[in-house]
Homo-oligomer: A and B are copies of this chain.
């Protein structure tokens, strides 16, 4: 049977986004998938040209794709929050990407900034909630610019939203050799939200007797990421804590140049979106200095999500082999070419 082409929406975005996405696509083509990419011009440039971030018509169109590959969004020329909220977060919310999946894994050959930490000690997966919490954007400001100004932000947490991501995390934990799930939150201060998260984990845990369940405050977790990363196998946490802890995870696993992520809609009612954890890095944009590995690993996650498990594994193995060689001083496209060669070979 001739399988139909994969329809892929590509949003290179800002800064180094364009550069790393080009390498991701190279690898995707080389791995032998029938892929039909369509590029979307969204980000700072379009915003400056037309004032648009994500027109409704484009959002509707994107809904028809099998998956989205995104580079990076954000530029200092645009006030903070505009592109992030109206483009990146809008996509995550509109397509109900309630699982933001971020592996934290130290590849052999990569130097972690942590002393005396064997490679196998850093191997976890963070399941970050992607559609609620403080990212809801609710809140407001009163008496702006006066000595009596008040600014609020609200964290919104629903049983629906928490339970589905917790269930996903338990499924992940069940499928891994260590079968351990750690809830990271701040239940002693965020008592309302923390109580909902903790009760949900406790309840769902009853259905997963084979999974060991643990709890860790976000402050302690930040410490343990550095001092005892082997404590963690699967971590489930809310949107903001997940944001923080996955950058920290990227740091301990050798840097933001290697950290991949998937914004997943597990029910497939809309396309899932894959992107490196790093940002648009305007300071090094256009210089061929960016490491495309995080994007290429995100491509591997994308393939896996689409059921192309062999291709996904092939890409991940190519990356692992490339990293193991420990080559330095390569440009963005040289790294992409080297990985592409391994995938084709």
- Hey, which bits of chain A sit against chain B, CB under 8 A? 74, 80-81, 84-85, 89, 111-117, 134-135, 137, 139-141, 143, 145-160, 163, 186-196, 198-199, 218-220, 222-227, 240, 243-248, 250-252, 255-256, 279
Contacts and interface: CB of A to CB of B under 8 A. Distances in A.
Given A156-B152, A157-B151, A222 B245 contact: yes
A319 to B, nearest CB: 21
A89 B243 CA distance: 26
A175 to B, nearest CB: 26
6 contacts: A80-B188, A152-B155, A153-B157, A219-B247, A223-B247, A223-B256
Contact of A155 (B153, B192, B195, B256): B153
Contacts of A163: 147
Given A115-B114, A226-B226, A219 B192 contact: no
Nearest to A81: B191
A245 B84 CA distance: 23
Contact of A115 (B84, B115, B188, B218): B115
A253 B54 CA distance: 44
A151 B155 CA distance: 8
Contacts of A151: 157-158, 192-193, 195-196
Contacts of A195: 141, 151
Contacts of A244: 218-219, 222, 244
B250 A84 contact: no
Given A114-B113, A157-B151, A192 B139 contact: yes
- Minimum-distance CB pairs A-B, first 10: A149-B159, A219-B247, A115-B115, A151-B196, A81-B191, A223-B251, A226-B251, A222-B248, A153-B155, A151-B192
Contacts of A156: 150, 152
B153 A158 contact: no
Given A135-B189, A226-B252, 10 more contacts: A74-B188, A81-B191, A111-B115, A137-B189, A150-B158, A151-B193, A153-B154, A153-B193, A154-B154, A223-B250
Contacts of A189: 81, 84-85, 89, 134-135, 137, 240, 243
Nearest to A256: B223
